[in-house]
Structure formats: structure tokens, C-alpha cells
Structure 1
């Protein structure tokens, strides 16, 4: 009897020791994570300020050459200056998207019940302006169902999907885009459906990765981060994103989020 009690006490002491070790390890990992987040924020600040400043300087001086010294440059010199401007603009867009992707990993996301209709309208107007009045027809099936989301993150997600939809249109045809909602089993799917060039089945998971591109810059400009931002934003709101598509028959991108809980 005594031996059993001794073994039990020894076992309890071992459990307490293991618990102390586990708590210590969790505290150390938490501290390491906080340091890593601080370093990531410092890196984002450096990218935003220290890298953008010389980049804008390069673009500015190249534009001065084109505006004030075009006659002296000659055709070849003008082409080189124009390439500098275009490259600087692509780098600026890449830095901006990298910062957005980085911020999505760190920001505090507070979900609340929202009507996404206004957010979708704003994003549609911006996508329409980007494409041009004759190059995009965007239809929103209102009213859209309410979702549990963070408004800023949701606007980034929807905006990127609409930008993609108007960009990847068939040559010589205006983009035709439809946004609609679907409710099921306590969830809501927001769909962005287009009639563009479509995506082959083997690429439909890959395109949500960072820096994944299926087309060259000449055909469809971009940096391969837009859909990675969509995926990260959806996941930060507790949801997910995906696509259904057939080549040359358009694509239907969706973002699935929780439906708001009924008021008590």
C-alpha cells in the first residue's frame, strides 16, 4: 500500500515537472514569436519608406527626361527611359502588394456582422475605373447576404477578385462580371464570376500561392500576389477561398465566410 502511494506521489511530481517545462517552453516560444513579429514590422517599415524613396526618385528623373529632354534622347533613348518608368511602377506595385500581404498576417481581425453590398459596390467602381468604361460590365445581384467579416480585409479580398476578373478578359471583348451571394449551413459564399480566359484545372490551386503567374507581363501585367492576398484575407476571417473554372469559359472565384449568428 505504501509503495503504491509512493509511486503515485512520484508520478504526480513528474507530471508537475513536465507541466512546468511545458509552460516554460510555451513562454519561450511566445517571446520568440513576439521578437519575430517586431522584426517583421521593422522590415515592413524599411520596405515602405527606405526602398520606396529611391524608387520614386528613379521614376521621377526618368519622367523628367521624357518630358523635358525627349528631343535629345532620340527614339532609342526614349524607349529606355519609358522602360525605366514602367519598371519602377511595377516595383512600386510589388512593394505595395507585399506590404498588404505582410499586414494581413499581423493585423488584429475583429469579425462583425456586415452587409457586404456597399463594400462590393466600392470595389466594383474601382475595378471599373481601372479597366475603363468600355472594357468592363460589372453586375451585382443585390441584396447580398450578410457575413461575419472585417470590413477592411473584406474590401481587399473582393477588390483583388474584381481586379482579376476585369484584367483576365478575352482579347477584344469587354469583361463581363457578376457578383452574387449564396447562403448554406451557417456560411455565406460571395462569388465573383467572369466570362474571361479561364484557368486550367491543374493550375487552380497553384494560383493562390505567392508569386504564382500563368501569363507573361506583356499579356497580363501583374506580380502574382493578388490571389495570395485573397486566400490570406479569407483565412484571417476564418474562411477560405477557391475557384471553379474551365479554360476559355470564364472563372467563378468564391470566398466562403461564416454567416452572422442570429441575435439573441
Structure 2
């Protein structure tokens, strides 16, 4: 469609009615229409798919299929109607026309009561709706393209950064191990800082890649046994748990949820790692993982006795690169909780926190329950 030349498909087997529509529309001072016409439903479907009209005037009573069948055949894979359709009904057919609107038609007009004014209003609304839909689709396509470009950039950046980073890490480790007796205290301190910074940079790159991956991967829904998954995560964190002498209590009856196992795994790995990091140095870590059911959802609660979070930062901590403490005190990248938030959003769930400074925090994860 150009701004002033929208395309109209008239699907009606009555040539006199089609002539009336054309005559009325030629009186419209807002647009100069391009008309396309067909007399049968099947030919009309072929025409509409070919020219992608801005509006379809569709007679309910066609010689081969009725208007409802036309709409059903016109629907795309998602079941929605990709064009603005105005159903044309006869007197007494208003109930059918309303059914057509429930099936995806935008409006309906009764032929015997049609005037140029109500025809113009219906078509103008249809054109505006089509324009808005196509603009939105274009924005979505542009956004998807940008997302793909960002993902490609992130992978390329990670690859290009990791090559020199590995070299820096490797040589600095050699210096740290083989020349520690040659270096003075300051030299050893500087080399240790280089090795530590390399480790942090590698973790940052990995976390950034994980965040990028979950935004662009296809979500595969299936039943997920939380009990088994959490036990596997805890087993993988055994070394860190032993180092911190953490005590973790896990409910034995954790339920089945319905979602993507990779995303759910990311959620609980990051929450558990977060709890192990933000601990009070003078207190043994105690974590408890329990759950409750709310309608068709499971709410998992991970409570810790760590440093706690000021309520004013509840939203901030789930944003990318947002950290409340220096890396010297509590190492991290500021991406872990952002991954948790993104993953739960993609699964149609929620995550939130309740906390008291100096006492501890409880993170809540709401996920769809698996119903047998």
C-alpha cells in the first residue's frame, strides 16, 4: 500500500453489489483505491494471498464456501487472520456476522443498510489496523535482525577476546609459578592480580555468552524433576560447598515442573552460587530450599542467612551488570541474577526476593507445575 492507494479485495458473487461498493468507494476523498475482485471463495483466497490487500470486503454467502470457511482458510499458522476483513451480511444474518468477528473478521456491514458513510468508516478503520499491524511486524523483524546481529557480535567478541586472554592467563601463571622466587613481594602481588583479573574476565565472558544464549535459544518444554536437577547442581558445587562449610537443606518432595530443563538449570545454579558468595564471614552458611503450590504454579523458596539486601535494591539486582558490592568483597560479574530473571520470564514464571539486611534473603521462583 502507498499512503493514498490502499488495495481492496471484493469477494462477492453478485456483480451488482460489487458495482455498488466500487461506486461508493470512488466517492471517498481520503483514498484512491485499487480494486481487485473475485466471485468465489477459493479464487478469493488465492487472490488475497497473492496481493496481500489492505482490506477485504467479504460476502458471507459465496457459491462454494461461506464466510466462516473463508476465514478459517485465510488464517495463518498461529490461527490469526493476517488481513483486515469486513464481513458483508444480509438482513437477519447479524448473528452469523458476529460469529465471523469472533473468528477473526474486524467488522461487519449489513448490505441492505449500507451507506457510503458507514462503508468509509469500516474501511478506514481496517486500513489503519492493517497499517499498524504491518508497522509492528516490520519493527519485530527489525528487532529480530538486531538480536541476531547482537548474538553474532557477542560470539565473535567472546572468541576474539578469549584468544589473547588465554595467552595472558597462561604466561602470567607461568610467571607466578616459575619465577615466584625471583620476584619480590610487590612483583608477586602484581602477578597475582593479573591472574585474578584474567579469571574474572573469563568468567565475565562466559556469563555474558550464557545470557545471550538464553535470549536466542529455542525453548523446549518438557516435564522436569526438580528434586533430581537440584541434587545434580549441588553435587556439581561440592567443592565450593566444602570450602565454605555450607549446610544445605533440600525438601525431599520437590515436584515436577514444566519448562525448559536448560533454563531451569541456569536459574538454580545461579541462585545457589549467589547464596554461596554473599555470606557473612563470621557465620556458617545455611541454605534451605522448600516449595509450595499456587494454582497451576510451583513456588520454590531458597532461603539463606547471608548479608541480606536493602529493599530499595530488590529490582536493581536482577538487572544486567548491577552489583551492590565491590569485587574485592564479593567477586562476581553482575550477570547471574539477570540470567535468573531472563530465564524465568521466558518460561512464563516470576522471580522475586524478600530480605533483611544482616539477616538473610529468600529468593522465590515461580514456575508452571507439571500436571499429569
TM above 0.5, yes or no, is yes
Structure number with higher helix proportion: 1
Question: How far did residue 108 of structure 1 move?
Answer: 1.7
Superposed CA offset, 1:133-171 (max 9, x none): 552111111110221221111111001111111222221
Question: How far did residue 15 of structure 1 move?
Answer: 3.7
Structure 2 counterpart of 1:140: 250
Which one has the largest radius of gyration? 2
**Segments of 4+ in structure 1 off by > 6 A?**
none
1:31-70 aligned within 5 A: 31-70=141-180
Structure 1 counterpart of 2:205: 95
Unaligned runs of 5+ in 1: none
> 1:43 and 1:24 mapped to 2: Cα distance?
28
Is the contact made by 1:145 and 1:182 (CA closer than 8 Å) also made in structure 2? no
> 1:14 and 1:176 mapped to 2: Cα distance?
65
Question: How far did residue 61 of structure 1 move?
Answer: 0.9
Superposed CA offset, 1:19-74 (max 9, x none): 44234323422331232122012112112211111111111111111222233332
Question: How far did residue 5 of structure 1 move?
Answer: 2.1
Is the contact made by 2:244 and 2:276 (CA closer than 8 Å) also made in structure 1? no
Structure 2 counterpart of 1:201: 311
Is the contact made by 2:219 and 2:260 (CA closer than 8 Å) also made in structure 1? yes
Is the contact made by 1:127 and 1:166 (CA closer than 8 Å) also made in structure 2? no
Q: Which moved more, 1:9-18 or 1:116-125?
A: 9-18
Question: How far did residue 75 of structure 1 move?
Answer: 2.0
> 2:266 and 2:309 mapped to 1: Cα distance?
22
The higher-RCO structure (CA 8 Å, 6+ apart) is: 1
Is the contact made by 2:309 and 2:357 (CA closer than 8 Å) also made in structure 1? yes
1:106 counterpart = 2:216: yes
Is the contact made by 1:208 and 1:228 (CA closer than 8 Å) also made in structure 2? yes
TM-score in terms of structure 2 length? 0.66
Question: How far did residue 229 of structure 1 move?
Answer: 1.1
1:237-256 aligned within 5 A: 237-256=347-366
> 2:131 and 2:357 mapped to 1: Cα distance?
55
1:115 counterpart = 2:225: yes
Question: How far did residue 107 of structure 1 move?
Answer: 1.5
Question: How far did residue 243 of structure 1 move?
Answer: 1.1
Question: How far did residue 224 of structure 1 move?
Answer: 1.5
> 1:167 and 1:72 mapped to 2: Cα distance?
34
Is the contact made by 1:128 and 1:137 (CA closer than 8 Å) also made in structure 2? no
1:173 counterpart = 2:280: no
TM-score in terms of structure 1 length? 0.91
SS at match of 2:115: helix
Superposed CA offset, 1:168-209 (max 9, x none): 222133211111111122211111111222222222222112
Question: How far did residue 116 of structure 1 move?
Answer: 0.8
* CA RMSD after TM alignment: 2.1
Is the contact made by 2:250 and 2:289 (CA closer than 8 Å) also made in structure 1? yes
1:187 counterpart = 2:290: no
Structure 1 counterpart of 2:193: 83
